[in-house]
Every structure is written in C-alpha cells, then in structure tokens.
Amino acid sequence: MLSSNGVYIIEMLSAALRSMIFVGVFTSWLLADDPFVGKWKLDLAKSKLTGQVIEIQEIPGNAYKFKEDEHSDIILADGLDQPTHFGDTMAVTQNGPGAWSITYKRGKRVLMNTRWDVSPDGQTLTYTATGTRPNGQIFTNRMIAKRNGGSSGLAGTWETTSVTLSSPPEIDIKPYDSGGHSVTFPGRKQAVRMKFDGKEYREEGPTVAYGTTSSGVRIDERTIETTEKVSGKVIETARATVSQDGRTQTIVVTEPDDKTPVVLVYERETRSADAENAGLTSTPSGLSEGAAITPAPAPIIEDKRAFGVLPNYRTAEASAPFKAITTRQKFGIAVKDSFDTPVYFTTAFFAGLSQARGTDNNIYGQGLKGFAHRYGISFVDQEVGNFFPEAIVPVLFHMDPRYFRKGEGSVKSRFGYALGHIFVAKNDTGHTTFNSPEIIGNAMASTVALAYHPHERTAGDAFNQFAYTYIAPDIFGQILKEFWPDVKLKLFHKHPGATQ
C-alpha cells in the first residue's frame, strides 16, 4: 500500500507525463513546414547570370588590372602566383595572340584553371574554367562576353551574354536552433549555421575568403534578406523568396556598384531527410554558392533559463564541434544549477504546495516549522540530485554531463532523441556511451537521500526517489531543453526585419 507521499509522487509523475504529451503536441505546431527547408538545384535556364561587367585594364610593364564591381587587382602576366584582394592568388600567362590562361589558388590548393580567348575581331571574349570541387566533382564552366569598351586584346570592358555550367550548384537547407538554418553547399563541402537576428556570423571553409561574415533577417514566411561582408566591407546583398507552391526559390544577388543583379532560380529536389515534417524559420540561402561558409563554434546555448525560471546551464549544441569541459567546469555547472536564484523560489513553491496538500503532516507537521522542514528536504534533494550526476560521477567516470541538443529534424526524431539520451551520453572524448552520470549518479543521490529523509529507509524508498524525484523530471527537462528555443522563438521573438 502506498503512503500519502507515494500517492503524491505518482500524481506528480502523471502531471509530468501529461506535460510531456503537451510539449510533443505543442512543438508539432511550432515546427510547421518551412518553405525553405529541403534540397534545391539551380535551374540555369530560368536564372539570369548575364549582364555582369568585367573591366580589364592593361598596365605598362606587362601587367593587367582586373576590376569586378568595386574590387580590383593588378597582376603581372609572368605566370607567377600573385596575391588578390580576397587572399587568393592569380597566375596570368599569355599563351599567344588573343589567348591567356589564369590559375586561381587558395594557398597551395588550385581552385580552378581558366582560359581567356578573344575572338579575331576583338569583340568576343570566351572564358572557360575547369577544376575539381572539394567533394571531388570535376566541373567545366563557360562564359561568353561582348566588348563594350576598348578595341583589342584582353583589355577593355566586357559584359557577359552567356553562361554555361557543367554541374549546376545545389543547396541543402535544414532547420537549425531558434529559427535559424543549416545551409550546405555539397559540391564545395561548405555550410553555414546562422540565425536570422541581424547579427553577423563568421564564415569559413575550403575556399572562403578570410574574415567573411554573413547576417540575415526574415522579412516574412517566404522571404529572407542576407548581407555578406569581408573584413567588414559589404560584398553582396541577397533576397531569397520561395514561391507559393513551394517548388521554386528565387535569389536576387546584388553587388555594390553593380546595376545588374544576378537572379538565381533554384528548383526543389526533395525535402531534406532530417527535416521531413519539420522546420524553423527561413534560410540564409540568399548567399551565392561562392560564399563558402561553415559554422562558428557554439558549444553552449546562451539562454540559461527556460521560461526565465528553470536553470539550463548544462545544454550544448550537438551540431557544434565537440570541446571537452574541465573538472572545474563540471562542478561549475552543478553549482549554477543548484544555486541559481530562481531555484530558491521554485523550491518554496513546491514546499508550499506539499504543505497545502497536507503531505506527510505526521512527519513534518504544519506551520512555519513544517514549511521549513519541507523546504530544507526539497532543497537538499535538488543539490544532491545536481552534484552527483553533473559533477561527481562525470569526473569519476570521465563523462560529459551536458545534454547535447539535436536542434534539427522532425518533432518525432527530436522527441525520441531527448528520451534516448537519458540512457546514452558523451564521454570526455566526445564518443557516445552509457549515461553513467544520469543512471549511476542519480542512483547514488537516491541512496544518500535515505540519510536525511526521516521516514524513508528501504530500498523501495530509494527507488521511488531515483525514479520519481530524479529520472522523471530529467526526462521532462531534456524534452524542454530540446524544444525550449523553438517555444521561445514562437511565443516571444520578433524578427528584426518585420517592421523595416
């Protein structure tokens, strides 16, 4: 027969389970299909890449000044690698009358080999680029331009009239964190993880220029605007829009001092596998394929209180590069979770609730003394339940006590991930293994609790403490940690671009 305390525990567990069901249903609404999420492939026939202007000026001493938009580089035509404004190198060689070859490199890596051929009448420039992308894909791209200035040779002003790509670029977009997206360019092995909050996110990758950043805002459900910079200077702005039928994404890219924007039309290939029936807000896909970018490290979520009350100090991003934490940091997490200001108020609330229900009056009594007794027991339960699984056992077993939030994929997959990670966790090397902090740590905490619970002394009492006081709340807590950023975004976040 259960004691009144046992009945109360079961009632609390039932309430927690009902809350879990609510979270699952609520987040299904929060993660409604995002029109940007999925795999996209450039439709060259519908895109407009022509009309771009290239200026080439011949400089005395066998050199050329290449100017594109507001950027220019002076390169000697001596076949040697020479630096450009983006940190790459160019090696220019004249092969004969009307024929030049240029090799572009990033460090020792050849980005592409190009050939520039001017027609005998001097009015047409044919540019052919060949190379191998970081994923091993070989490409051959061709551009034809007409002369708008100059009279002969490579020097002059050229306007593109035709562009051919052997393998049109693809984009894979998945949801990321609170309204952000993970955007991957498979051919270049480059990706960006960014939120649409107007802040700049660092870019990097196999071929990206050093010091490149991107920022973005969501204008509405189907429109994103992004800005790309290098060393603080705007390189391009882009506006991405998804059609009403969700099949086409149009990206209009504008560069400074360029009156003719590039229009890229992408056709949807598939929904992203991990994002089926899921999605947060928009995507930074306004970035051209040339914006080679990967995520800046973000090992721990900045929002440390769910709903402004519940401590959230041991949550990190599963998608971010793993970085082990020290013994000091593990104990620091336990201290913060145990002594965060809201903890004192939540402890008082549950102690007061227990007293109002008359739980264990025969043990604690009523009045201020009864409340103080309940408050003390509840507070110590939390401290013991924090220090064993968050600090002591992780240090002894070389485990990482953090919950690594999945942050992307369907509601079902994320819900299952949160539940499953009660039993598995990362160790200090980043490998997934048995979650000894959760299971062994809470078992030890439950055993210690027998020493100060005056009416609980049996193995059954220890199991109740283990299952209902520690494990059940942790299950609910991990589900909350997984979806809290999405809840916060939906309820409280106002997109920066909404009123502009």
Q: Are 27 and 483 in contact (CB under 8 A)?
A: yes
Of the pLDDT bands very low, low, confident and very high (cuts 50, 70, 90), residue 182 is confident
Same-domain pairing of 305 and 395: yes
Q: Are 80 and 71 in contact (CB under 8 A)?
A: no
Residue 285 in domain: no
**CATH classification of the domain holding 129:** 2.40.128
Q: Are 104 and 88 in contact (CB under 8 A)?
A: yes
C-alpha 3/C-alpha 156 separation (Å) is: 92
Residue 286 in domain: no
End position of a domain, from candidates 104, 138, 165: 165
First to last CA, the chain: 64
Same-domain pairing of 387 and 493: yes
Report pLDDT for 72: 80
What Cα–Cα distance (Å) separates residue 209 from each residue in 15, 80, 90, 226, 364? Answer: 53, 21, 14, 17, 67
- Ramachandran area for residue 198 (φ above 0: left; ψ -120 to 50: alpha; else beta): left
Of the pLDDT bands very low, low, confident and very high (cuts 50, 70, 90), residue 308 is low
Same-domain pairing of 109 and 218: no
Same-domain pairing of 119 and 195: no
**pLDDT per position as a tens digit, 427-441:** 999 899 999 999 999
Same-domain pairing of 104 and 212: no
**pLDDT per position as a tens digit, 73-107:** 888 999 999 988 777 889 999 999 899 999 998 88
Same-domain pairing of 242 and 326: no
Same-domain pairing of 306 and 454: yes
Cα three-residue angle 357-361-366, rounded to 5 degrees:
85
End position of a domain, from candidates 243, 275, 307: 275
Non-local CB neighbours of 348 within 8 Å, separated by 6+ positions = 375
Q: For residue 251, what are the domain limits?
A: 38-43+174-275
Q: Which of 180-189, 424-433, 481-490 has the lowest mean pLDDT?
A: 481-490
Of the pLDDT bands very low, low, confident and very high (cuts 50, 70, 90), residue 457 is low
Same-domain pairing of 130 and 206: no
Residue 77 in domain: yes
User: Between the ranges 84-93, 140-149, 254-263, where is the mean pLDDT highest?
Assistant: 140-149
Same-domain pairing of 455 and 485: yes
For residue 485, give both structure tokens. 């950023």
Residue 103's SS3 state is: strand
Q: Are 240 and 319 in contact (CB under 8 A)?
A: no
Q: What percent of the chain has pLDDT over 70?
A: 80
Nearest alpha carbon to residue 435 among 470, 386, 389, 477: 389
Report pLDDT for 2: 40
C-alpha 31/C-alpha 486 separation (Å) is: 8
End position of a domain, from candidates 241, 275, 309: 275
Residue 287 in domain: no
Cα three-residue angle 143-147-148, rounded to 5 degrees:
125
**pLDDT per position as a tens digit, 369-421:** 888 888 888 888 888 889 999 999 999 999 999 999 888 778 888 999 999 99
Same-domain pairing of 71 and 96: yes
Residue 369 in domain: yes
Same-domain pairing of 195 and 231: yes
The domain total for the chain is: 3
Of the pLDDT bands very low, low, confident and very high (cuts 50, 70, 90), residue 366 is confident
Average pLDDT taken over every residue of the chain:
79
Nearest alpha carbon to residue 467 among 448, 439, 500: 439
More confident position, 443 or 454: 443
Of the pLDDT bands very low, low, confident and very high (cuts 50, 70, 90), residue 13 is very low
Non-local CB neighbours of 334 within 8 Å, separated by 6+ positions = 386, 387, 390, 391, 401
Catalogue the E-assigned strands of 195-293: 201-202, 212-220, 223-230, 233-242, 248-254, 262-270
Same-domain pairing of 320 and 345: yes
Residue 48 in domain: no
**CATH classification of the domain holding 270:** 2.40.128.20
pLDDT at 65 over 60: yes
Q: Is the dihedral of CA 40, 45, 51, 52 positive or negative?
A: positive
For residue 459, give both structure tokens. 């193995």
CA dihedral 338, 342, 348, 350 (to 10 degrees): -80
Residue 111 in domain: yes
Residue 292 in domain: no
